[in-house]
A and B are shown apart, each in its own frame.
Chain A
Amino acid sequence: MAPLSWYIALSASLFVIGLYGVLSRRNVLIVLMCLELMLSAVNINLVAFSFFLSHLGGQIFAIFVITVTAAEVAVALAIVIAYVRHKGSLKIDEISIMKG
Chain B
Amino acid sequence: MEQAFFLLFASIAVASACGVVLLKNPVHSAVSLMACFIQIAALYILLHSPFLAAVQLFVYVGAIMVLFIFVIMMLEIRQATLERFLPGSKYIALVFSVVLGSAMLWLLFSSPLLSQIPPPTPSATQGSVSELGQALFTQYLLPFEVVSIVLLVALVGAIFMTHKGDG
Say what secondary structure dominates the interface of chain B.
helix
Contacts of B105 on A, CB cut-off 8 Å?
Answer: 9, 12-13
Contacts of B2 on A, CB cut-off 8 Å?
Answer: 1-2
The answer to whether A81 and B21 have CB atoms under 8 Å apart is no
The answer to whether B86 and A93 have CB atoms under 8 Å apart is yes
Closest to B97 in A: A20
- Give Cα A13 to B20, complex, Å: 14
- Give Cα A48 to B162, complex, Å: 38
Please provide the chain A residues from 57 to 100 with a CB less than 8 Å away from any CB of chain B in the complex: 57, 59-60, 62-64, 66-75, 77-82, 84-85, 88-93
CB < 8 Å neighbour of B59 from A4, A34, A70? A70
Chain A interface residues toward B at CB < 8 A: 1-2, 4-10, 12-21, 23-30, 32-34, 36-37, 40, 43-44, 47-48, 50-54, 56-57, 59-60, 62-64, 66-75, 77-82, 84-85, 88-93
Known: A17-B14, A57-B135, A91-B83. 14 other contacts (CB 8 A): A1-B3, A1-B46, A13-B105, A14-B14, A21-B21, A32-B68, A33-B30, A36-B33, A40-B60, A54-B120, A60-B140, A68-B147, A74-B155, A89-B80
Task: Give 17 A-B contacts (CB < 8 Å), ordered by A residue.
Answer: A2-B3, A13-B14, A14-B17, A17-B17, A23-B96, A25-B21, A27-B77, A28-B80, A50-B47, A56-B127, A60-B136, A60-B140, A69-B59, A71-B150, A75-B161, A77-B71, A91-B80
Chain B interface residues toward A at CB < 8 A: 2-3, 6, 10, 13-14, 17-18, 20-21, 26, 29-30, 33, 36-37, 40, 43-44, 46-49, 51-52, 55-56, 59-60, 63-64, 67-68, 71-72, 74-77, 79-81, 83-87, 89-90, 93-94, 96-98, 100-101, 104-105, 108-109, 114, 117, 119-121, 126-127, 131-132, 135-136, 140, 143, 147, 150-151, 153-155, 157-159, 161-162, 164
